[in-house]
Structure 1
Amino acid sequence: MTRPPARNADPERRGHDHDGAAFAGPGTPTWTHTTEEPILARPAVGDRRVYTGTRSGRVLAVDRTDGRVVWERELPAETVTAPVVLRSGAVFVAGFDDFGRAETTVHALDAGTGEDRWAAGTARGSRAPPVVAGNRVVVSHADDSLVVRRASDGTVAWDAAAASGDAAVARGTVFHATGDGVAAYGLSDGEPCWSRTLDGNSTTAPVAVDGLVLTGRRSGDLYALDAGTGEPRWTADLFRPAFHDDLRNMGRDGQGPPANRSAISTLSVTADTAFVGTCNAVFALDVGDGTVRWVRDLDCDYVHSSAAVGGRLHLGTADGSVYVLTYDGDVEYHLSPSNATTARATLADGALFVGGEALPEGPHSAPTSGFLSGYVDG
């Protein structure tokens, strides 16, 4: 039986699957499915299908071997976050509506048909993907609430007033990162455990490993907190002044470098290494003390997604490329999907699935379409 990828199988959302197989080819996609709207969500992979969402609120399920569309759903939201698919046969998705027009913004869909098992939520919805652990679905809403629902029927188990941000679950605790810092709650009852104020808005979902909670911030700092108390263990400053100086005249608006050039954008953590994606580089840090082991500069504008699988780091970038690196930082693959302007990659059983935004053929000024590709050997 095939196994779901690390993102779906691991409620700690570490981006790490030590038992999985790394991508080893082919260098061109086996299939590509195009959409009229950009795909902003990282794909989720089940036993037979790949699931993703679009900017217009559509959710698609395609056959993982040939890219054939099995079903699609239009949700009452402007944008769909990354889906989560479970062996129970459910796909969990959240949507966001900037105008607050949607009545249901969290959906548990039947993985086989796309039909609702249940639907709930708030008017504006969520920009962050749901996190599923046991019979709990954790959703951070844009109306500044953290809501934990029962996965079986969508009823509310508990909620808390909390600014919007990414969450993760580890060992019965919900870790929620926002613009103020990180807070921890009991998964079963919502009892507050601790709260820690940090500098800068959060830019990555928190990751729990070996008694630590790691979170990346807009300032370029990576914080490691004690998972039980929230006390700081170490901080790594990944800001690179020389890089910013080189870019002082290269801003998209002509007024200097784009904002957030130092922001940490992705985080994948193994037992001893944190792989941290930033503007055009990936750092490998010692989990124990935050020491930088190596830095690999990449020809891209931000790392969008990362997955550490089978001794390889798989990266999707904001220029549409996909890199596969060894844990020593050597580049083994550099894939450039045709017309892609962004790429988010997911691994499953050695196969690579990439979704993103694309430019249409002919004159263009901005991405107006999307693509989902499968690099499936055989």
Structure 2
Amino acid sequence: MTDGRSGAYSVSGLPDGAEIAWVADLGYPVHALPVLTRDTLLVGDSLGRVHAFDAATGEQRWRFPDHDYDLNAHDESYKTVVTVWRDEVVVGVCGEFDYFDTFADAGYDDDEESEADEFEDDDEEEVDDLIDEQISFLDLRSGRLLRTAPRDWYPSVVGDRLVLISLNGGVRAVTLPDLTPLWSNRKASGRVQTSPAAGPDGLIYLSGGREANRTHGGLVALDLRTGRTRFAYEPEEEVFAETGPPHAVVAEGLVWKPVLRDEEDERPEHPGEIVGLDPLTGEKRWSHLVKGRPDGSVAVADGVVCFVVSGGEDGVHAVDIETRGTLWTRKLPGAGVGTPVLAAGVLYMATGKGTVLAFDAATGEQRWALDLGEYIDDRELDHEALYDEIPPAVLPADGMLYVRTGTGVVALRQRS
């Protein structure tokens, strides 16, 4: 279930050291953060497959589709992102954006709110052809396909509603489990490429992506009940030159967003920026400037906001929210990848070369570092992809960490 996406987890993690517990070599990169539900770890790979593992042992419980592809026949890379509603696994497989199909499927007029169209019957489509970018609903226990929904929409679960995102089709919502249309918002089209964060007053916040005409960027707040736009935040001269969009975060009474500006623009008035917005009005309440480019989104907990910067003040930064002063900065042994996460007073971060690091969130002291022997692939899709946010690379759990890699997933446990 989507929540405030603060990057803070109420789990123990691995504060005192780590070793490899098990490795799942899928043969293809994992671009999206795995999902842990009860004792099952769900992983989507870049070929459009979903794998379910015993979270403790790594034993594979099922795979969908349950047949072997000719892996050498596929050179496209997909983001297969998994979310869970009760005992159903909702899967979105997103590749390059199809401009004409998206508008044809949307069928909306130019009003800000229009009635959502009914789902088309997909029964005649090939059940196992996930490369067609359909939304699939699977049984959590068996991986059996329950039903499908139309292609060219990216799914995200918020409570008992399924929020569907399309780059140029806007945002719409349907009920779960019956998929009854609730609303659509076409005004959010042409900008959204990230999953929402849920906030107060029934609002959801979606951070924009990037494209050549610069109609992306910023952040839009929608009413989950009606689909109406509450506000749009559009920071000046925001660009996404060589990175996917960061997702919005709701924590500590604010909506957080990194603002990215042209990395070739060396004017001091145009640095990177971390902003905190009023969750009801979008007014900027908090700001911290950085030299360089914020990579990924932020993690916020216990009065501290943490983020990674490259191309300037490289490394992990922790900033006190009340004073807006930097608490600590630590260099990384390579380019950081993904968004940092927090658990039990420890910040976890990874590098593209596959080193996982743990820092004391209060002091920045390095607790441990472990080389996985696997790189972490964070190449974004085409800049007009349906979905292209950069997620964390590390998922903390009680007594475990799960790390997405360029070939699958690596599970870590407490060092013996």
Given the superposition, is the C-alpha separation of residues 118 and 106 from structure 1 closer, same or farther in structure 2, using an over 3 Å criterion? same
Whole-angstrom CA distance in 2 between matches of 1:147 and 1:78: 26
Larger deviation, residues 22-31 vs 49-58: 22-31
Specify the alignment match of 1:60 in structure 2: 51
Verify the 8 A CA contact 1:50 1:61 in the aligned structure 2: yes
Verify the 8 A CA contact 2:172 2:227 in the aligned structure 1: no
Specify the alignment match of 1:205 in structure 2: 247
Q: Which residues in structure 2 correspond to 1:193-232 (within 5 Å)?
A: 193-199=230-236, 200-201=238-239, 203-219=245-261, 220-232=272-284
Specify the alignment match of 1:283 in structure 2: 317
Whole-angstrom CA distance in 2 between matches of 1:155 and 1:317: 42
Structure 1 residue 117 displacement after superposition: 3.6
Q: Which residues in structure 2 correspond to 1:149-164 (within 5 Å)?
A: 149-161=174-186, 162=188, 163-164=191-192
User: Is 1:375 matched with 2:390?
Assistant: no
Given the superposition, is the C-alpha separation of residues 28 and 138 from structure 1 closer, same or farther in structure 2, using an over 3 Å criterion? same
State the aligned residue count.
Answer: 331
Specify the alignment match of 2:373 in structure 1: 338
Given the superposition, is the C-alpha separation of residues 185 and 330 from structure 1 closer, same or farther in structure 2, using an over 3 Å criterion? same
Question: Which protein, 1 or 2, shows the higher relative CO under an 8 Å CA cutoff with sep ≥ 6?
Answer: 2
Specify the alignment match of 2:82 in structure 1: 83
User: Is 1:110 matched with 2:139?
Assistant: yes
Verify the 8 A CA contact 1:266 1:303 in the aligned structure 2: no
What 5-or-longer segments of structure 2 have no aligned partner? 70-75, 102-130, 209-215, 262-271, 379-392
Whole-angstrom CA distance in 1 between matches of 2:89 and 2:323: 37
Specify the alignment match of 1:49 in structure 2: 40
Verify the 8 A CA contact 1:150 1:157 in the aligned structure 2: yes
Structure 1 residue 144 displacement after superposition: 4.3
What's the CA shift string for 1:249-296, capped at 9, x where partnerless?
xxxxxxxxxxxxx13313111141111123341111223464322211
User: Is 1:16 matched with 2:8?
Assistant: yes
User: Is 1:238 matched with 2:280?
Assistant: no
TM-score, normalization by structure 2: 0.73
User: Is 1:165 matched with 2:214?
Assistant: no
Larger deviation, residues 182-191 vs 195-204: 195-204
Q: CA RMSD in A?
A: 2.6
3-state SS in 1 of match to 2:294: coil
Specify the alignment match of 2:205 in structure 1: 175
Structure 1 residue 236 displacement after superposition: 1.5
Verify the 8 A CA contact 1:320 1:336 in the aligned structure 2: yes
Larger deviation, residues 301-310 vs 152-161: 152-161
TM-score, normalization by structure 1: 0.80
Q: 2:301 aligns with which of 270, 291, 303?
A: 270
Given the superposition, is the C-alpha separation of residues 153 and 115 from structure 1 closer, same or farther in structure 2, using an over 3 Å criterion? farther
Structure 1 residue 217 displacement after superposition: 2.5
Structure 1 residue 201 displacement after superposition: 4.2
One-letter identity of the residue aligned with 2:95:
D
User: Is 1:317 matched with 2:315?
Assistant: no
One-letter identity of the residue aligned with 2:331:
D
Specify the alignment match of 1:362 in structure 2: none
Q: 2:402 aligns with which of 335, 353, 377?
A: 353
What 5-or-longer segments of structure 1 have no aligned partner? 1-7, 241-261, 358-369
One-letter identity of the residue aligned with 1:12:
G
Whole-angstrom CA distance in 2 between matches of 1:141 and 1:342: 24
One-letter identity of the residue aligned with 2:226:
D
Q: 2:94 aligns with which of 75, 93, 96?
A: 96
Whole-angstrom CA distance in 1 between matches of 2:356 and 2:226: 40
Given the superposition, is the C-alpha separation of residues 78 and 108 from structure 1 closer, same or farther in structure 2, using an over 3 Å criterion? farther
Whole-angstrom CA distance in 2 between matches of 1:105 and 1:271: 39
Structure 1 residue 78 displacement after superposition: 5.2
Given the superposition, is the C-alpha separation of residues 12 and 81 from structure 1 closer, same or farther in structure 2, using an over 3 Å criterion? farther
Given the superposition, is the C-alpha separation of residues 159 and 292 from structure 1 closer, same or farther in structure 2, using an over 3 Å criterion? farther
Whole-angstrom CA distance in 1 between matches of 2:323 and 2:230: 24
Structure 1 residue 154 displacement after superposition: 3.2
Verify the 8 A CA contact 2:35 2:83 in the aligned structure 1: yes
Q: Identical aligned pairs, as a percentage?
A: 21
Structure 1 residue 99 displacement after superposition: 6.0
Whole-angstrom CA distance in 1 between matches of 2:89 and 2:340: 21
